[in-house]
């Protein structure tokens, strides 16, 4: 038995289709998530889930009998009452975690009655869900069905993690099932018609993690096709094209960049530039840079040049898009009264002020508590002639020990992802160094806002709201200032490198 292999005692608190939360009963050890990858998973699974739920009297006895044998067992949960119907855990459709302390668990769907409250659950506590019924989730509690109000419960994926950013959208190409786990042998939650648009949160072994009618589930990736995001090459500008001139150099960031005779994308191609070559930039008008290459004059689309100031501040006149994550109806990650959207806006506003003070032209995708769509943020960037894009977010993990800063770049065909990596690395390292954060490094992830912007674009996750140490920094104004200063310095470092 696994229990004999370890020196401490574990007592199972919650059980769902695929994850157990286990409490170290011997001391102040805290909770431990037993995911399918954990060495104890098989044994706990055999002991409990394959037979029935924890609420099963027989299993309960077996467990408690077993733990009684080891004298230091302390029950953290009342053992089930005899004679109550045993719930069939194979019917579980998902796992939720409470987003608030003291969430009422009721035996009926009636929030006006106090008599129907059978218990409460604190923030982070997990419940297995059997059905979604209007505003209510039908859950198991003490060996019986009960209800919690949907607003205060957040669905988790099969590994027990909260769903994070949407990576892309897909359309179903046929009628397909949504499963509890990424395998067609698991329970079917619901059936989705053909031609339905669904968000993708994660890809696991040929399955996409999506959400159907508010419930996360896995669908076969091959039965979908990607929704194509229109990439406006030359958008209709929302404002007068900015004009810049001065002592400028351009470094080519892609291969085979066209030099055109005139400032438009249908004009004659004079010659092509290779990645890494430098051109003299005389002026920039909107998207078109007038350049001189080998003594010849021509025009190049500025999105594919890193514009370098040969004198003065390296970021003077640069057009920088700052994207505070989420906003409005979308709070992002929430812990108690702390919402990601507010932290992102605070840091973004400070970054903007610092960049502007250094002479940059900065545009924020939102300046208040509003919700621009992801596609809207991409369009905003293109319509405003953005030259780099920095999206600011805060992280969350079910495992509260996860902490630190990570920065993402996207890699798409024809993209100058080397530039993305440099920008991401400078920003990430500045934060890690100045704010003394755990370094979770620079990673590739095709989030919509960074995959569809055809300029250097990164998304930084400052730290984890779910981790107490990170949270203390993310809610402290002095640290907020340090985060902003670090992002500013990272951008400055990026433009200082020629
Ligand atoms: Zn976010």
Going from the Cα of 179 to the center of ligand 1, the distance in angstroms, rounded, reads 26
What are the two backbone dihedrals, phi and then psi, of residue 193, each rounded to the nearest 5 degrees?
-70, 170
CATH number of 243-309: 2.30.30.40
Q: Distance between CA 173 and CA 162 in Å, rounded?
A: 27
Q: Distance between CA 297 and CA 312 in Å, rounded?
A: 25
Going from the Cα of 165 to the center of ligand 1, the distance in angstroms, rounded, reads 6
Going from the Cα of 391 to the center of ligand 1, the distance in angstroms, rounded, reads 9
Going from the Cα of 465 to the center of ligand 1, the distance in angstroms, rounded, reads 11
HEC per residue, 233-268 = CCCCCCCCCCEEEEEEEEEECCCCEEEECCCCCCCC
Residue with tokens 């923030």: 123
Angle between the N-to-C axes of helices 340-357 and 477-496, in degrees from 0 to 180, rounded to the nearest 10: 50
Of the CATH numbers 3.40.50.1360, 2.40.50.140, 2.30.30.40, 3.30.70.141, which one belongs to the domain with range 168-226?
Answer: 2.30.30.40
What are the two backbone dihedrals, phi and then psi, of residue 427, each rounded to the nearest 5 degrees?
-65, -45
Cβ contact 152:165 at 8 Å:
no
Neighbours of 32 (CB within 10 A): 15
Going from the Cα of 440 to the center of ligand 1, the distance in angstroms, rounded, reads 16
Going from the Cα of 64 to the center of ligand 1, the distance in angstroms, rounded, reads 42
Show the DSSP H helices in 177-237 as ranges. none
**Paired sense of beta strands 405-409 and 439-444, if any:** parallel
Going from the Cα of 395 to the center of ligand 1, the distance in angstroms, rounded, reads 6
Q: Where exactly are the structural domains of the chain?
A: 2-69, 168-226, 243-309, 319-496
For the chain, 498 residues long, give each residue's pLDDT as a single digit of tens: 333 333 233 444 433 334 444 433 333 334 445 556 655 555 555 554 333 333 332 333 233 322 222 222 222 333 333 333 457 777 888 888 888 788 889 988 888 888 899 988 888 888 888 888 888 899 988 878 899 988 788 888 877 777 766 677 888 999 999 999 899 989 899 899 988 888 888 888 899 989 887 788 999 999 998 876 543 334 444 556 667 777 889 999 988 899 999 998 899 999 999 999 999 999 999 999 999 888 889 999 999 999 999 888 999 999 999 999 999 999 999 999 999 999 999 999 999 999 999 999 999 999 999 999 999 999 999 999 999 999 999 999 999 999 999 999 998 776 788 999 999 999 999 999 999 999 999 999 989 999 998 899 999 999 999 999 999 999 999 999 999 999 999 999 999 998
Give the pLDDT score at 150. Answer: 83
Neighbours of 122 (CB within 10 A): 10
Q: Distance between CA 340 and CA 474 in Å, rounded?
A: 9
Neighbours of 222 (CB within 10 A): 12
Going from the Cα of 18 to the center of ligand 1, the distance in angstroms, rounded, reads 26
What are the two backbone dihedrals, phi and then psi, of residue 87, each rounded to the nearest 5 degrees?
-80, 145
Going from the Cα of 389 to the center of ligand 1, the distance in angstroms, rounded, reads 15
Going from the Cα of 328 to the center of ligand 1, the distance in angstroms, rounded, reads 13
Give Cβ neighbours of residue 68 (< 8 Å, ≥ 6 apart): none
Going from the Cα of 396 to the center of ligand 1, the distance in angstroms, rounded, reads 9
Going from the Cα of 7 to the center of ligand 1, the distance in angstroms, rounded, reads 39
Q: Distance between CA 351 and CA 265 in Å, rounded?
A: 34
Going from the Cα of 315 to the center of ligand 1, the distance in angstroms, rounded, reads 27
Going from the Cα of 333 to the center of ligand 1, the distance in angstroms, rounded, reads 7
Of the CATH numbers 3.30.565.10, 3.40.630.40, 3.90.1170.50, 3.40.50.1220, which one belongs to the domain with range 319-496?
Answer: 3.40.630.40
Task: Report the chain's C-alpha Rg in angstroms.
Answer: 27
Going from the Cα of 41 to the center of ligand 1, the distance in angstroms, rounded, reads 31
At residue 478, the 3 state secondary structure works out as helix
Going from the Cα of 377 to the center of ligand 1, the distance in angstroms, rounded, reads 14
DSSP string computed for 362-389: EEES-SSS----HHHHHHHHHHTT-SEE
Q: Distance between CA 323 and CA 377 in Å, rounded?
A: 8
Sheet with strand 388-395: strands edge to edge: 361-364, 319-324, 388-395, 457-464, 405-409, 439-444
Q: Do domains 168-226 and 243-309 have the same CATH topology?
A: yes
Q: Distance between CA 54 and CA 86 in Å, rounded?
A: 9
Q: Of the candidates 394, 373, 377, 395, which has an alpha carbon nearest to the alpha carbon of residue 386?
A: 377
Going from the Cα of 163 to the center of ligand 1, the distance in angstroms, rounded, reads 11
């Amino acid at each position: 038995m696994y229990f004999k292999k370890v020196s401490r005692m574990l007592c199972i608190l919650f059980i769902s289709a695929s994850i157990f939360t286990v409490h170290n009963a011997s001391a102040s050890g805290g909770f431990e998530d037993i995911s399918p990858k954990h060495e104890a998973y098989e044994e706990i699974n055999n002991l409990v889930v394959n037979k029935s739920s924890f609420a099963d009297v027989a299993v309960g006895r077996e467990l408690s009998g077993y733990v009684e044998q080891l004298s230091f067992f302390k029950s953290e949960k009342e053992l089930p009452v005899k004679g109550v119907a045993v719930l069939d855990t194979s019917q579980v459709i998902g796992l939720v975690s409470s987003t608030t302390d003291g969430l009422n668990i009721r035996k009926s769907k009636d929030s006006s009655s106090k008599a129907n409250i059978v218990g409460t659950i604190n923030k982070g506590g997990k419940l297995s869900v059997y059905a979604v019924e209007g505003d209510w989730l039908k859950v198991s509690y003490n060996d019986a069905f009960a209800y919690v109000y949907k607003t205060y419960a957040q669905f988790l994926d099969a590994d027990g993690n909260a769903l994070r950013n949407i990576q892309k959208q897909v359309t179903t190409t046929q009628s397909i099932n949504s499963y509890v786990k990424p395998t067609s042998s698991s329970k079917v939650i619901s059936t989705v018609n053909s031609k339905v648009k669904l968000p993708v949160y994660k890809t696991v072994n040929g399955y996409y993690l999506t959400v159907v009618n508010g419930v996360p589930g896995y669908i076969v990736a091959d039965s979908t096709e990607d929704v194509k995001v229109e990439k406006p090459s030359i958008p209709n500008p929302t404002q007068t094209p900015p004009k810049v001139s001065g002592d400028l150099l351009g470094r080519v960031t892609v291969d085979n960049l066209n030099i055109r005779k005139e400032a438009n994308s249908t004009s004659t191609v004079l010659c092509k530039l290779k990645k890494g070559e430098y051109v003299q930039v005389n002026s920039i008008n909107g998207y078109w840079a007038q350049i001189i290459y080998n003594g010849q004059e021509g025009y190049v689309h500025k999105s594919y040049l890193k514009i370098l100031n040969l004198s003065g501040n390296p970021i003077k006149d640069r057009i920088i898009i700052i994207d505070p994550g989420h906003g409005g109806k979308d709070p992002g990650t929430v812990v108690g009264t702390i919402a990601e959207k507010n932290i992102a806006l605070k840091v973004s506003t400070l970054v903007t002020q610092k960049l502007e003070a250094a002479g940059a032209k900065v545009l924020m995708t939102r300046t208040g508590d509003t919700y621009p769509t992801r596609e809207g943020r991409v369009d905003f960037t293109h319509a405003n002639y953005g030259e780099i894009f920095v999206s600011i977010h805060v992280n969350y993990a079910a495992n509260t020990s996860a902490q630190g800063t990570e920065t993402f770049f996207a890699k798409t065909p024809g993209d100058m992802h080397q530039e993305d990596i440099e920008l991401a690395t400078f920003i990430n390292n500045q934060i890690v160094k100045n704010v003394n954060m755990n370094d979770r490094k620079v990673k590739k992830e095709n989030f919509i806002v960074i995959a569809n912007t055809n300029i250097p674009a990164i998304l930084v996750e400052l730290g984890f709201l779910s981790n107490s140490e990170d949270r203390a920094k993310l809610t402290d104004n002095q640290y907020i200032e340090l985060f902003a200063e670090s992002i500013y310095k990272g951008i400055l470092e990026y433009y200082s490198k020629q």
